[in-house]
């Protein structure tokens, strides 16, 4: 499947949308399309209905957690030092906020091609974590989006039944996030290896 062509097809069919190609460095060569949340629904509808693509089968839906990253670089800046303008080296830190990502793998059962990988990203990891749900288009996303909501905490708007699926309803955190801290509730058990042994000894 030619991603460039699909990209231009989408942009022709859904005016005003911005689709980016995310390049995948592994030998698998499964590059993906990054969609903007405003147009996701129309794009998904187009991909499903288009007679050439006809991606009627959404195989896999999954979440990915990308933590905040901090990159530091050295920059030379002109600055007044003791009245004289000098070139000073300064370390500038750029903090890019992390985000949660939902990845969809689409196939076509009729045309027997695929996969087309779609991604959508939240603004950050804390308060703006809403994404449009694609369950109304592909029913197979129903349980999988619930699972992402449960384990990653992405809130899917338009999902018919967004509840916890694997963890119990009273559970509060989202265990698949990279910064999840395990509850310290070990029973005493003389296990032979350090980490659990230490934790269990405290109880």
Q: For residues 94 and 48, give the distance between their C-alpha atoms in angstroms, rounded to a whole number.
A: 40
Sign of the dihedral through C-alpha 157, 160, 166, 167: positive
Q: For residues 81 and 131, give the distance between their C-alpha atoms in angstroms, rounded to a whole number.
A: 49
Of 57, 97, 155, 158, the residue at the interface with another protein (CB under 8 A) is 57
Provide the token pair at 81: 């030092």
Q: Which stretch binds another protein (CB under 8 A): 5-13, 54-62, 75-83, 85-93?
A: 54-62
The residue whose two tokens read 């600055």 is 79
In angstroms, what is the minimal distance from the CB of 154 to another protein?
14
Sort strands 32-35 and 116-121 into parallel, antiparallel or unpaired: parallel
Of 28, 72, 78, 202, the residue at the interface with another protein (CB under 8 A) is 28
Residues 66-125 that bind another protein (CB under 8 A): 103, 105, 109, 112, 115, 117
Cβ-based nearer residue to another protein, 7 or 177? 177
The yes or no reply on residue 3 touching another protein (CB under 8 A) is no
């Amino acid at each position: 499947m030619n991603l460039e062509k699909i990209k231009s097809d989408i942009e022709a069919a859904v005016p005003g949308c911005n689709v980016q190609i995310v390049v995948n460095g592994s030998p698998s060569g499964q590059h993906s399309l990054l969609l903007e949340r405003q147009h996701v629904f129309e794009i998904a509808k187009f991909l499903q209905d288009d007679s050439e693509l006809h991606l009627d089968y959404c195989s896999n839906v999954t979440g990915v957690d990308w933590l905040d990253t901090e990159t530091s670089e050295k920059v030379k800046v002109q600055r007044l030092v003791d009245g004289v303008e000098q070139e000073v080296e300064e370390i500038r830190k750029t903090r890019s906020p992390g985000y949660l990502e939902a990845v969809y793998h689409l196939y076509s059962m009729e045309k027997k091609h695929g996969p087309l990988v779609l991604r959508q990203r939240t603004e950050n990891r804390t308060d703006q974590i809403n994404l449009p749900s694609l369950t109304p288009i592909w029913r197979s996303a129903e349980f999988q989006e619930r699972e992402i909501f449960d384990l990653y905490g992405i809130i899917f708007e338009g999902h018919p039944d967004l509840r916890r699926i694997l963890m119990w309803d009273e559970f509060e955190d989202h265990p698949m996030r990279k910064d999840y801290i395990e509850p310290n509730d070990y029973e005493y058990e003389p296990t032979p290896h350090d980490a659990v042994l230490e934790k269990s000894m405290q109880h």
